Amino acid sequence: MFKGEVPIGLVGILSDFGLRDSYVAQMKAVILSRSPSTTIVDISHGIERHNIDQGMFVLASVTPYFPSGTIYLAVVDPGVGGSRRSLLLETERSKFVGPDNGLLVLAAEKEGIVNVYELDESRYHINKFSSTFHGRDIFAVAVGDIASGNAPSDIASQISDYVKPMIIKPKIRSNQIDAIALHIDYFGNVVTNISQRILQRYKIDFGCKMKIKVKAITKEIDFCKTYSDVASGQLLATIGGHGYLELSINQGNAAEHIDLKNGDKLLVQIVGLSV
């Protein structure tokens, strides 16, 4: 294989299944049984249970770094077995398989959706089928079929609609930004929904002071280029690897320190700025 060439059947998998049980291994086994040459990359299986928004954010944050031609299997599926559809989104550079609950959409729309398909679940009932594990019995089968060379139209019916997530945007007023915690990472860093682009628009640069209000607590912190710009154990704001304003503690857990969870609201005030 030449440098830069995409492996045949490169698959990235994301789920909220964790790694204690065999669910992830079962999905991989199904994919490999249908496409033995497939290369499988684990994106994350530590998504908070049933947290579609977090899964959507993590998926969208990683897809730009995969090569064109990648197939994604994403499963955060609290509506499994219900009326929600099984979806296959085809973009200009990738294919996404998973539940029709918004999970796939942010990543797929960034790439440019060219076709939308509904997987025909009846074709999967020939074998053993679980109404509570579509990740294995529908999505993984479809991914394996695509990885082995089947076209989306061979295994699904084209449709024109899909569930679009309600993406909360920050509200800017005077020198204050109403924001939410998009994602809490393993280190306890709080990724907000304030993009670097927003801060650049108002010429907010490293070295300024920010006041962070969470519930009834307000803290004034430095906006830094990196964690080590402050002393160990000190709270700071920075632009993280996702490209969003991030609240962190140098060698500590910011989410625990300021009592923030995924989806919580916070107020960010830029000291000395009026927009």
> Do the domains 10-159 and 171-270 sit in the same CATH topology, yes or no?
no
pLDDT at position 216, please? 85
The string of DSSP letters for 73-124 reads EEE--TTTTSSPPEEEEEESS-EEEEESSSTTHHHHHHH-EEEEEEE-GGGG
Across the range 242-250, mean pLDDT stands at: 95
Instruction: Please determine, for residue 125, whether its predicted confidence score (pLDDT) is greater than 60.
Output: no
Specify the fold of 171-270.
Elongation Factor Tu (Ef-tu); domain 3 (2.40.30)
DSSP collapsed to 3 states, 197-253: HHHHHCCCCCCCEEEEEECCEEEEEEECCCHHHCCCCCEEEEECCCCEEEEEECCEC
Instruction: Please determine, for residue 248, whether its predicted confidence score (pLDDT) is greater than 50.
Output: yes
Which tokens is 231 given? 């002393």
Q: pTM to 2 decimals?
A: 0.88
pLDDT at position 47, please? 94
- 179: burial class by Cβ within 10 Å (0-12, 13-18, 19+)? buried
pLDDT band, residue 215 (cuts 50/70/90): confident
* Share above pLDDT 70 across residues of the chain, in percent, rounded to a whole number: 94
Q: Which residue type is seen at 83?
A: S
pLDDT at position 273, please? 59
Specify the fold of 10-159.
Rossmann fold (3.40.50)
pLDDT in tens, 49-78: 999 999 999 999 999 999 999 999 999 999
Determine the Cα–Cα distance for residues 275 and 268; give it in Å rounded to an integer: 13
pLDDT at position 204, please? 85
Instruction: Please determine, for residue 246, whether its predicted confidence score (pLDDT) is greater than 80.
Output: yes
Determine the Cα–Cα distance for residues 108 and 252; give it in Å rounded to an integer: 34
pLDDT at position 91, please? 97
Domain positions in the chain: 10-159, 171-270
pLDDT in tens, 129-165: 788 899 999 999 999 999 999 999 989 999 999 999 8
Determine the Cα–Cα distance for residues 119 and 123; give it in Å rounded to an integer: 9
pLDDT at position 275, please? 52
pLDDT at position 7, please? 45
Average pLDDT score, the chain = 91
Q: Which residue has the higher pLDDT, 251 or 165?
A: 251
pLDDT at position 168, please? 83
CA distances 48 to 20, 44, 97, 191, 273, Å, are 14, 10, 20, 15, 36
Report the range of poorest mean pLDDT among 25-29, 138-142, 173-177, 179-183.
173-177
3-state secondary structure (DSSP) of residue 157:
strand
Q: Residue 7's Cα: distance from chain center in Å? A: 23
DSSP 186: T
pLDDT band, residue 118 (cuts 50/70/90): very high
Instruction: Please determine, for residue 274, whether its predicted confidence score (pLDDT) is greater than 60.
Output: no
